[in-house]
Structure 1
């Protein structure tokens, strides 16, 4: 079971090193995208960790824009160009951390081979707050002076937007684990249908549903599991999940998830130590 981990990161090199080391496995490689706004030299220590590669085509990532999608697509391209026949591509952020040893993670995906693990809630039926992302124009992706006022004018004058090609929009969390054929399909689909890319570039936070939507409207739909295997706590009702602490250890241990999001060693370094302790004793049932 060969896995390519994509890690999207922009800060905290020490924490990123710990994540890369936790993922170490003979059949795993980590492809790390460092936000192009950051100096890559700060992350040079990662080059000494086995099986770590930097994504060469870096982009400046802006929260809520298409840049997050592009960073992921660039990683897809590099992984496929490597010629290595990975079974899975696993998308993580630099603030994620495995709740299991690498061997456990590989065994898990071997047992569920061919499944796509991602959240794909219907925007119209279950994720109503995302409807304006689809129906309105958003200029977050463009560096235009006065763009938010322009957005208001455009949305008053233009008709309600509709998904191209009759796509049924689904999604929620951007983090996922999918097979190599699924990633290859996404790249080919966007290459063959540039109007889909144009649509999502005018969408707020397209990273949270572009990948799911493409696969949901394809032959991969039957293999999709509506679970991204990440533990996230949304109890604070903020745009991002709560930063986890040692107080969350019981919930993490009982979650059945493979990864925790999100963690910060500057907030609570003991949390990662505790995770390492209980993950060491977990075995595949």
Structure 2
């Protein structure tokens, strides 16, 4: 078991499936970090999770939120978990947001030393989303930013047109230029849109900023509450516009998107060399029903 350092760390888990894998992740974090604060938001509407055997350092968000993929409910579940964590008397200096499919790929000492040796408040992927990139950048590597602009920075109007003897027609008009979208969006010269990976880690200062911002009845929260894919922009926009927070544009997470599609590659034993060569602290995603051997190997390496 790793010795505790001056920096304390806690974990927020967003889970909804594969209870055995959730238990394994919790047990691993307990062994590595000497029973840290772990706040778990589990969606019991998707699958059950036996909580009677969980250790006392595990706190469950009650009542849970029925979450949906890419929905604002994921944001709400994360904020509720943050609120619970930072109400505790022994709230940690740092938190790491994890899913049930994540697993550590570095030792506790390496992770804590890395967090404690830098002056950043958060490690989060955050790319500024601009009209110039959306309209004029022809690089294939910018496709993700272009998609983000369309998701968060355009405004569509749909008109249902029907006549007595004609089929119904759906007409969509989309405003894209900032001069046209300005009346409908919360963004401005003082509040830019950012986007990035859902998974990040941050310190208490950043956590309290998120909690305070979200609790206010502000235009940004109201706007994102009606969108899809908000988990990939809401926290990024809040933190990247915060005046006194220092961000590192690095999620400290190994994720392989080489297969294409909307979900990352499931990591196997063949991926182990790439994991070990990475500077990331955690990797995703794993599946014990497909390959549990890689988790066994990581247990040995990170013990």
TM-score past 0.5 threshold: yes
Asked whether 1:119 is paired with 2:125, we answer yes
**Residue-by-residue CA offset, 1:217-261 (whole Å, 9 max, x unaligned):** 11244x100001000001011111111111101101111211011
> What is the count of residue pairs matched by the alignment?
264
Q: Distance in 1 between matches of 2:302 and 2:55?
A: 21
Q: Does structure 2 conserve the Cα–Cα contact (< 8 Å) formed by 1:99 and 1:258?
A: yes
More helix per residue = 1
Q: Which residue of 2 aligns with 1:247?
A: 270
Please, which runs of 5 or more residues in structure 2 have no aligned partner? Answer: 1-6, 134-141, 157-169
- 2:174 & 2:249 partners in 1: Cα distance? 36
Cα RMSD for the two superposed structures: 2.3
Q: Does 1:44 align with 2:51?
A: yes
SS of the aligned residue for 1:72 comes to: helix
Deviation digits for residues 59-108 of structure 1, max 9, x if unmatched? 00011110000000000110121132421111000100000233432232
With over 3 angstroms needed to count, the CA separation of the structure-2 counterparts of 1:245 and 1:206, relative to structure 1, is: same
1:266 equivalent in structure 2: 289
1:109 aligns with 2:115: yes
In the alignment, the residues of structure 1 paired with residue 175 and residue 91 of structure 2 have an alpha-carbon distance, to the nearest angstrom, of 49
- Compare 51-60 and 2-11 and name the one that shifted more: 51-60
Question: Secondary structure at 2:266's aligned position in 1?
Answer: coil
Assess if the C-alpha contact under 8 Å between 2:125 and 2:251 holds in 1. Answer: yes
- Matching residue of 1:31: 39
- TM-score normalised by L of structure 2: 0.80
Q: TM-score, normalization: structure 1?
A: 0.85
The 4+ residue runs of structure 1 with deviation greater than 4 A are 152-159
Task: Specify every segment of 5 or more residues in structure 1 that has no aligned partner in the other structure, as ranges.
Answer: 139-151, 281-285
Whole-Å Cα distance in 2 between the matches of residues 155 and 200 of structure 1? 20
Relative to structure 1, the CA distance from residue 211 to residue 156 in structure 2 (aligned partners, 3 Å threshold; closer, same or farther) is closer
Deviation of 1:276 after TM superposition, in Å, equals: 1.6
Q: Check if 1:186 corresponds to 2:194.
A: no
